[in-house]
Chains A and B, each alone.
Chain A
Amino acid sequence: MGGYNRRLRRDYFVVVDEIHSGMISRTVFVQSFPFLFATGIGLMIAGLLFGGLVGSLERAPGLIVMIPPLIALRGNIGSALASRLGTATHLGLVSAREIWNEKSKSEISAAIILSLILSLLIGILAYLTCAILGLAHMEIWKFVFVSSTTGLIDGVVLSLMTLFIIFLADKRGADPDNIASPALATIGDLTTLLILFAIVLGTGVIV
């Protein structure tokens, strides 16, 4: 029926057996599917909040343009931070005992500053592209306000969450690289959507 495949895991020097059904790796499938499905459900629930945004979006022309980039920004900065903190943990620069030190502080401040600057950029770009394409748009300060506040709050909340997860993982003796990334991806998406939702709703009121 199936083939039996052996793969050598470079980092742990342990032979991991993967079971294949025909050409498909059953191990990968069985490991990934539940998590993927759960992520999907979580995203759908978050998406529900999103649906409630339509009213605010109609009152704030051009706002919707910033939504995908802000989510993507969080994703990129978040995963970079998670992987850097994970590496730092491996190198012993950060640990459960020494979680709030020079190294982690500098990593987190870098992430927050990046989030702020890039989200500002997103606001400006969104405004410019709307203007150039001749689409309806609000004033530039509204764009920039929404994007930078979202970016800032998002950056702070997620950096702290990342640190917390790294802390938990290290405390239990687990490899942060394995635990942090997938957990953060899901939780990060949900949180970003929540923050975005709150800000857009607030903006809808202001606008």
Chain B
Amino acid sequence: MALLLGIVAGQILNLTRSFMLVPWILFIIPVVNGIGGNIGTVIGARLSSALHMGTMTPRLQGKPLEQNILTGVVLGITTYLSLALFSVVLAPMLGLEMNVDSVRFALVIALSGFLLTFVVIAISMLAAINSFKYGLDPDNFVAPLTTSSGDIVGILCLILALKVVGI
């Protein structure tokens, strides 16, 4: 099932042909999707443990949930921001051919990352809570679900960010 989601992600990439226009898009994809997946699984794992231990109820409210969500958001924003800034330094050093200026480049990374953070945390939260509610072990569901759907959403966020920044 996660395979199917992966194929969908690949087809979206294929369809939009954006990788032709923007050669460095392939450079950004692993980073954005990878970090998104990490944040989703970290928060998901924490929610999963909290549910198992009973410090959290499987409902969309409560202090532990809010704390985790906020922590995840802050983590995501700071990580993507620092990576975006760092990439501006890194890319030219490694001889990446760029057809846009550095500001736009960093902005694309940052924007798509921020957007993805919110979505990924929402997905992992829903996956953890709902699987627990139906008596399943969230540990088995959160990781594959959030990473696969996060991949798709990541590419969508990337495309959106490119449009917003004007590429």
- Residues in chain A within 8 A of chain B (CB atoms): 7-8, 10, 20, 23-25, 28-29, 32-33, 36-37, 39-41, 43-48, 50-51, 53-54, 57-58, 62, 64-73, 75-76, 79, 118, 121-122, 125-126, 129-130, 133, 135, 185, 189, 193
Contact = CB atoms under 8 A, between A and B. Distances in A.
Given A25-B67, A29-B71, A64-B13, A129 B7 contact: yes
A24 B6 CA distance: 33
B20 to A, nearest CB: 7
B99 interface: no
Interface in B73-96: 74-75, 78-79, 82-83, 86-87, 90, 94, 96
A65 B35 contact: no
A123 to B, nearest CB: 10
A73 B90 CA distance: 29
B62 interface: no
A57 B10 CA distance: 13
A193 B4 CA distance: 20
Contact of B19 (A23, A54, A75): A54
Contacts of A44: 27, 30-31, 83, 86-87, 90
B2 A50 contact: no
B7 A69 contact: yes
A77 to B, nearest CB: 10
A73 B85 CA distance: 30
- Which of B31, B75, B90 has the largest count of A CB atoms less than 10 A from its CB? B31
Given A54-B23, A68-B13, A118-B3, A47 B30 contact: yes
Q: How large is the interface on B (under 10, 10 to 19, 20 to 34, 35 or more residues)?
A: 35 or more
A46 B23 CA distance: 15
A76 B144 contact: yes
A51 B27 contact: yes
Contacts of A23: 66-67, 70
A122 to B, nearest CB: 6
B33 to A, nearest CB: 8
B51 to A, nearest CB: 12
Given A25-B71, A62-B14, A69 B6 contact: yes
A47 B6 contact: no
A65 B11 contact: yes
A126 B7 contact: yes
17 contacts: A32-B42, A41-B86, A47-B29, A48-B94, A51-B24, A53-B26, A54-B26, A68-B7, A72-B3, A72-B9, A72-B147, A75-B37, A76-B143, A122-B7, A125-B3, A126-B10, A189-B30
Contacts of A122: 3, 6-7
Contacts of B67: 20, 23-25
B30 A29 contact: no
Contact of A36 (B7, B11, B75): B75
A36 B79 contact: yes
Contacts of B74: 24, 29
A50 B30 CA distance: 9
A57 B68 CA distance: 40
